[in-house]
Amino acid sequence: MSSSNFGVWRPIAENVEYNALESNSNAVMAVADTVRTTLGPKGLDKLLIDQAMNRHVSNDGVTILLSLKAIHPVARMIVEIAERQEQLVGDGTTTAVVMSAEMIKEGKRLVKELGVHPTKVVEGIESGVKHACALLEEESKKIAINDIELEHVVKTSLASKLDGASLARMVIRALRNVGENAKYDGEYDFNKSIMVIRKTSMEDQIINGIVLERGRLDPELPVEINGARILITKLDLKPVKEAWIKENKNYQEILLMENDRMSKSKEIVDSMIKTGANTVLIASPEVDQAVEDMLVARGIFAARVATEEIDHLIRYTGAKPVRVTDDLKKSDILGKADRIREDEDNGLIYVEGGAGNNIVTMIVTGSTKETSLERWRATIDGVNAAEAALNKGVVPGGGAAELHIIDKVKGMKLKGLEQVGLDVVAAALESIMRQILTNAGFNGLEKVMSAKTSPKGYGIDINTGDPVDMWKKGIIDPLLVKTMALSAAGDIAKSVIRIDRNLAAEDLSSQALSETKR
């Protein structure tokens, strides 16, 4: 594989590159070409290979882009929008990339061939994108958690993924399991109520409860507790530091400190147990061996928890983490769960029947680390798509929503040459269906034309090539995925089109820049 395929950056020969738009746009195209063939249900996978010959097969736009080596700095902006799309909505990364490449291509044509000033193009893009987003919103429908459309959104989002159909079923079950419980301040936030972990050598599972990916603190602790009263501690559980002991060479002093360590450890353990806790989840950085031994002796269930798990445990069990020993005297610090147990074979701890808000954990597996990773990512995409759909509504998929607003976008009246900037947005709106169908082996352009003359909401059946009503066919996308992708694409296109020179600079680290400003 030649790395120049991704628009590799070579130092600028004469310190200035006059034809920046040409070279930047070529670099963007090269990067976009690496992912555009993955778009849609018939999109193909990429085999990623690193220097050590590690392999990974992926169909996920952002994963592929992030793995590319040595990318042209402008093309790197494409990677950044894919990342931003992933963070903001968690799906639609390839869509964002395809649209931005299309906008840049069309924008360059207007500037180079028709001599339109870049700022006119940029202004046209800005108005066009805004208008297109508003039109998509008009076309959208609201959906509720028990509607069939929720299933359609999740299936559409996972259509192109490895094992997508079975993952979609699992995601839908998880979503309906938490249901309205996942609403916070009126909006669904599944981050708070669905955990997705990945494992090899197990079956896929949905657990009503929290699964922690570790074993308990000590093999001699009980494996299972029924009626768990849970204390989450951030207390310092290493009251005497080893360094202090080492510093004191005098035997008498060491003995004193050792006694001190034992009595302080006992004091902490006693006061933890006095709260009535039979389960201690530890978020403290260190645990003294003496503390551990005393917990074993008292038959307490104890395990470490990671910071990112604490919020889930708080919501699920109602526990309030203790930070200082005085907190242990408060009355409402313990959380409750019907059962906590370790699955010793798989090194997992299950917390089930929590007294607080409902939480569901999906265990996503795969026969190899790579497949479990790819399926895990896809699962999270599906959950994100559902969240976006429930909060902001849905539009017909397969590029149909975009296609049927093109005429209205082009019909906007802008002053003067800005009008041509609308062509840039129109090109992007058309590109999604064309790419999906090209990837399915059709003549994309021809099929897009026949969909365009069909009624609103119609796209092309990916298998037969005939026009179909996407709503009826159950191919629907979250509105938010579309509007975010469109705005992100617009932002990138605007910045690339505005650049007329690439200059070789001395030092652009943020520190150097702030010093020049001064």
Binding site for Mg ion (CB under 5 A): 91
Contact 424, 412 (CB under 8 A): no
Query: What residues between 64 and 123 interact with ligand ADP by CB under 6 A?
Result: 91-95
Could you say whether residue 382 binds ligand ADP (CB under 6 A)?
no
Contact of residue 401 among ligand ADP, Mg ion, none (CB under 5-8 Å per partner type): none
Task: Answer yes or no: are the C-beta atoms of 372 and 366 closer than 8 Å.
Answer: yes
- 374 sits near ligand ADP (criterion: CB under 6 A): no
Interatomic CA distance for residues 28 and 6, integer angstroms: 8
Q: 7, 25, 61, 133: which one contacts ligand ADP (CB under 6 A)?
A: 61
Nearest to residue 203, comparing CAs of 412, 396, 362? 362
Among 422, 475, 484, 493, binds ligand ADP (CB under 6 A): 475
Tell me the C-alpha distance between 154 and 140, whole Å.
Answer: 16
- What is the closest distance, in whole angstroms, from the C-beta atom of residue 305 to ligand ADP in the complex? 33
Choice between 321 and 398, CB closer to ligand ADP: 398
Does 43 bind ligand ADP (CB under 6 A)? Our answer is yes
- For ligand ADP, give the closer residue by CB, 93 or 419: 93
C-alpha separations of 144 from 18, 264, 358, 394 in Å = 54, 55, 19, 11
Helix (H) or strand (E) holding 105, with range, is helix 93-113
Structure tokens at 260: 């001190």
> Is residue 255 exposed (0-12), middle (13-18) or buried (19+ Cβ within 10 Å)?
exposed
Binding mask 1-40 for ligand ADP (x = CB under 6 A): -------------------------------------xxx
**Residue 58 engages ligand ADP in binding (rule: CB under 6 A):** no
From candidates 136, 291, 363, 436, binder to ligand ADP by CB under 6 A = 436
Please tell me the distance from the alpha carbon of residue 262 to that of residue 245, in angstroms, as a whole number. 13
Q: Is 488 in the site for ligand ADP (CB under 6 A)?
A: no
By beta-carbon proximity to ligand ADP, the closer residue of 65 and 360 is: 65
Partner touching 398 among ligand ADP, Mg ion, none, CB below 5 to 8 Å by kind: ligand ADP
Q: Return the exposure string of 409-430: e unless at least 16 CB atoms fall within 10 Å of the residue's CB, then b.
A: beebebeebbbbbbbbbbbbbb
Do 396 and 470 contact (CB within 8 A), yes or no?
A: yes
Q: Which is nearer to Mg ion, 341 or 434 (CB)?
A: 434
Nearer to ligand ADP, 95 or 275 (CB): 95
Residue 214 CB, shortest distance to ligand ADP, in Å, is: 33
Please count the residues of this chain forming the interface with ligand ADP, following the rule CB under 6 A.
22
Site membership for ligand ADP, residue 41 (CB under 6 A): yes
Q: How far is CA 55 from the centre of its chain?
A: 22
Q: Does 398 bind ligand ADP (CB under 6 A)?
A: yes
> What's at 396, amino acid-wise?
P
**Could you tell me if 195 and 368 are in contact, meaning their C-beta atoms sit under 8 angstroms apart?**
no
Query: In this structure, what are the phi and psi dihedrals at residue 503, rounded to the nearest 5 degrees?
Result: -115, 140
Q: Is 466 helix (H, G, I), strand (E, B) or coil?
A: coil
Cβ 387 to ligand ADP, closest distance in Å?
Answer: 14
**Sites of contact with ligand ADP (CB under 6 A):** 38-41, 43, 61, 91-95, 156, 159-160, 397-399, 432, 436, 462, 475, 477
